């Protein structure tokens, strides 16, 4: 019995790409369940898991990564408030705003949406949040709403004083926040997944797409598109942004929020006028107003360090120590941009220029609103690897923001050709 069969089962069941968490994690989960079921060998366990739905769910519980915490990417919540205030005036009071946290894991994200909106002055009748996750165990914790230290990271914990009560078991969330969220078990890839629900104004789908391969990500994005109303807003994690852009989602132009508007197309497949207007408005807003959080450009890279790096010989992609770059990407995913940037700098100084490192350095600059440096790094990445899909997509977006529609189109065309090449 090969581990690959279990990996394949998990991919079919929940979309999981074994490479995203590593085959070893899957092997550990299988061994854990095998021991808990008191079975002798893999063959016996395979028989059970491939015929019993409840055991399949247990295996899923053993592999999921429920890691989450309050204010994972603070700016997403600042961005949410801004979108709600601009898009949903009081005239909408008759129909409450619909928001979705998918996957909600143990509930921190869904509850933080509620706290952010209450802090912004919305009354409880004006909005409703749904939290969906495949893990019933995570959802049970979400409903309990008592959180330990691990859920409160960073120093800005003022919200904890206002919305939680310290108890012997942990911090207990106020009932009026709890009541705003309805949790429900759901698998994004189930055939009947949320078929009959009214569409959402806002969907948070953060740190889920990273667990899927490209084809599965595409399926997931189609489902998310169905769940969003036209021009509804989708929030993703920093490393998931490239994906959205390659599906024609449009940046909501909120620095560091990683928010995108659903494309709305008419019957002929063209963008509607309303959509085009929204896009122009959002671009103008992006240029004419200060970022909500006034992020400081990161200065972790000195000009001299970079010029040294550029003059070093190019290292072939296959020889790159993947782990260092994985670590940098992980830090960027967590919003720890200064550390991610430092990690890339060290990497480049040690190993020489790398498309992957330059792309990530661009992403970090982009995320903090430093567009000129972001452009430079994306170009450096493309110089080293003209087929770097994400660098092509991110640079296209920047060019669009800077008003260079033709340049952006050319880059998107190149990105499409790269995709076709990979498919072939
Ligand atoms: C890392 S957490 C993300 C939580 C939160 N959105 C955040 O960004 O902090 C990933 C969650 O995805 C859930 N998940 C994985 N595959 C899923 C699927 N196919 N459908 C629904 N939820 C899924 C897992 O159970 C886990 O709780």
Q: Per-residue pLDDT tens for 350-388? A: 888 888 888 888 887 876 667 888 888 999 999 889 888
Mean per-residue pLDDT for 51-73?
95
Q: 50 versus 349: which is more confidently predicted?
A: 50
Give the chain's mean pLDDT.
82
Residue 1 has pLDDT above 50, yes or no: yes
Other beta carbons less than 10 A from residue 40's beta carbon = 9
Residue 45 has pLDDT above 90, yes or no: yes
pLDDT value, residue 313: 25
CA of 79 to the centre of ligand 1 (A): 21
Share of the chain above pLDDT 70, in %: 83
Q: Name the burial class of residue 378, with classes exposed (0-12), middle (13-18) and buried (19+) by CB atoms within 10 angstroms of its CB.
A: buried
Compute the CA torsion angle 422, 234, 149, 336 (nearest 10 deg).
Answer: 50
Q: 336 versus 85: which is more confidently predicted?
A: 85
Tokens 């854990």 identify what position?
32
Q: How many CA atoms lie within 13 A of 235 on its CB side?
A: 30
CA of 319 to the centre of ligand 1 (A): 32
Q: How far apart are CA 87 and CA 252, in angstroms?
A: 12
Q: 154 versus 50: which is more confidently predicted?
A: 50
CA of 147 to the centre of ligand 1 (A): 18
pLDDT value, residue 260: 94
CA of 16 to the centre of ligand 1 (A): 11
Residue with CA closest to ligand 1 atom 9: 68
pLDDT winner (highest mean) among 105-114, 148-157, 321-330, 414-423: 105-114
263-269: Cβ within 8 A, 24+ apart: 263/225, 264/230, 264/231
Q: 242 versus 217: which is more confidently predicted?
A: 217
Mean per-residue pLDDT for 108-137?
97
**Overall pTM surpassing 0.95 (yes/no):** no
Q: Name the burial class of residue 170, with classes exposed (0-12), middle (13-18) and buried (19+) by CB atoms within 10 angstroms of its CB.
A: middle
Residue 56 has pLDDT above 50, yes or no: yes
pLDDT winner (highest mean) among 29-38, 295-304, 374-383: 29-38
Q: Name the burial class of residue 176, with classes exposed (0-12), middle (13-18) and buried (19+) by CB atoms within 10 angstroms of its CB.
A: exposed
Instruction: Summarize the chain as % helix, strand, coil (round to 5).
Output: 60, 10, 30
Among candidate residues 281, 202, 200, 209, the one with its CA nearest the CA of residue 242: 209
Whether omega for the bond prior to residue 110 falls within 30 degrees of 0, making it cis, is no
Q: How far apart are CA 1 and CA 210, in angstroms?
A: 28
Q: What's the token pair of residue 72?
A: 């994972």
* Residues whose beta carbon lies within 6 Å of some atom of ligand 1: 14-15, 64-68, 72, 103, 105, 109, 133-135, 138, 187-189, 206-208
CA of 34 to the centre of ligand 1 (A): 24
213: left (phi over 0), alpha (psi -120 to 50) or beta: beta
Mean per-residue pLDDT for 177-201?
96
CA of 59 to the centre of ligand 1 (A): 15
Mean per-residue pLDDT for 242-250?
79
Q: What's the token pair of residue 370?
A: 């430093």
pLDDT value, residue 123: 95
Q: How far apart are CA 76 and CA 259, in angstroms?
A: 7
**Total length of the chain:** 424
| Residue of 106, 133, 241, 334 to test ligand 1 pocket, by largest number of atoms within 8 Å of CB | 133
CA of 412 to the centre of ligand 1 (A): 30
Q: How far apart are CA 73 and CA 131, in angstroms?
A: 18
Mean per-residue pLDDT for 211-219?
93
End-to-end CA distance of the chain: 31
| Residue of 187, 206, 208 to test ligand 1 pocket, by largest number of atoms within 8 Å of CB | 208
pLDDT value, residue 215: 93
pLDDT value, residue 417: 86
pLDDT winner (highest mean) among 214-228, 295-309, 326-340, 401-415: 214-228
| Residue of 100, 102, 103, 151 to test ligand 1 pocket, by largest number of atoms within 8 Å of CB | 103
Residue 92 has pLDDT above 70, yes or no: no
Q: How far apart are CA 354 and CA 257, in angstroms?
A: 27
Residue 286 has pLDDT above 90, yes or no: no
Mean per-residue pLDDT for 52-81?
94
CA of 207 to the centre of ligand 1 (A): 7
Q: How does pLDDT run across 301-333, given as a tens digit for each residue?
A: 122 222 222 222 222 233 456 778 888 877 776
Other beta carbons less than 10 A from residue 329's beta carbon = 20
Mean per-residue pLDDT for 40-69?
95
Residue 421 has pLDDT above 90, yes or no: no
Among candidate residues 275, 277, 300, 241, the one with its CA nearest the CA of residue 76: 241
129: left (phi over 0), alpha (psi -120 to 50) or beta: beta
| Residue of 12, 13, 77, 105 to test ligand 1 pocket, by largest number of atoms within 8 Å of CB | 105
Kindly give, in sequence order, each residue whose CB lies less than 8 Å from that of residue 179, ignoring residues fewer than 6 positions away.
124
Residue with CA closest to ligand 1 atom 3: 207
E runs forming strands in 74-126: 97-101
CA distances from 350 to 116, 274, 343, 385 (A): 42, 50, 11, 19
Instruction: Work out the angle between the directed axes of helices 355-367 and 337-351 (0-180°, nearest 10).
Output: 160
CA distances from 92 to 50, 89, 123 (A): 48, 6, 13
Residues 15 and 188 sit within 8 Å (Cβ to Cβ): yes
Q: How far apart are CA 125 and CA 324, in angstroms?
A: 48
């Amino acid at each position: 019995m090969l581990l690959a069969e279990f990996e394949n089962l998990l991919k079919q069941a929940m979309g999981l790409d074994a490479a995203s968490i590593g085959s070893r994690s899957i092997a550990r989960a299988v061994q854990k369940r095998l021991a808990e079921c008191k079975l002798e060998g893999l063959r016996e366990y395979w028989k059970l898991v491939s015929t019993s739905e409840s055991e399949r769910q247990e295996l899923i519980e053993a592999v999921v990564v429920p890691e989450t915490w309050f204010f994972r990417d603070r700016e997403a919540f600042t961005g949410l408030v801004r979108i709600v205030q601009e898009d949903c005036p009081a005239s909408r009071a008759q129909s409450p705003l619909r928001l979705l946290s998918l996957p909600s894991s143990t509930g921190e994200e869904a509850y933080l949406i509620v706290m952010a909106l209450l802090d912004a002055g919305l009354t409880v009748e004006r909005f409703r949040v749904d939290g969906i996750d495949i893990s019933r165990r995570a959802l049970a914790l979400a409903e309990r709403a008592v959180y330990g230290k691990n859920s409160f990271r960073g120093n800005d914990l003022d919200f904890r004083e206002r919305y939680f009560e310290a108890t012997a078991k942990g911090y207990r969330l106020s009932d009026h926040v709890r009541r705003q969220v309805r949790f429900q078990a759901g698998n994004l890839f189930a055939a009947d997944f949320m078929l009959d629900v009214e569409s959402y104004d806002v969907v948070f789908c953060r740190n889920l797409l990273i667990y899927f391969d490209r084809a599965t990500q595409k399926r997931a994005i189609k489902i998310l598109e169905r769940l969003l109303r036209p021009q509804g807003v989708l929030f993703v994690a920093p490393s998931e942004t490239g994906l959205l852009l390659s599906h024609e989602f449009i940046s909501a132009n909120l620095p560091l929020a990683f928010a995108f508007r659903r494309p709305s197309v008419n019957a002929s497949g063209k963008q509607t006028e309303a959509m085009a207007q929204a896009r122009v408005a959002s671009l103008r807003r992006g240029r004419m107003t200060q970022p909500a959080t006034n992020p400081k450009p990161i200065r972790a890279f000195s000009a001299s360090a970079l010029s040294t790096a550029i003059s070093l010989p190019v290292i072939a992609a296959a020889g790159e120590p993947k782990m260092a770059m994985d670590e940098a990407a992980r830090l960027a995913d967590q919003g720890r941009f200064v550390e991610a940037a430092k990690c890339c700098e060290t990497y480049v100084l040690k190993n020489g220029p790398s498309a992957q490192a330059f792309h990530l350095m661009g992403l970090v600059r982009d995320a903090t609103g430093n567009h000129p440096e972001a452009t430079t790094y994306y170009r450096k990445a493309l110089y080293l690897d003209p087929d770097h899909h994400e660098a092509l997509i991110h640079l296209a977006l920047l060019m669009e923001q800077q008003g260079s529609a033709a340049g952006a189109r050319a880059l998107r065309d190149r990105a499409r050709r790269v995709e076709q090449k990979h498919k072939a």
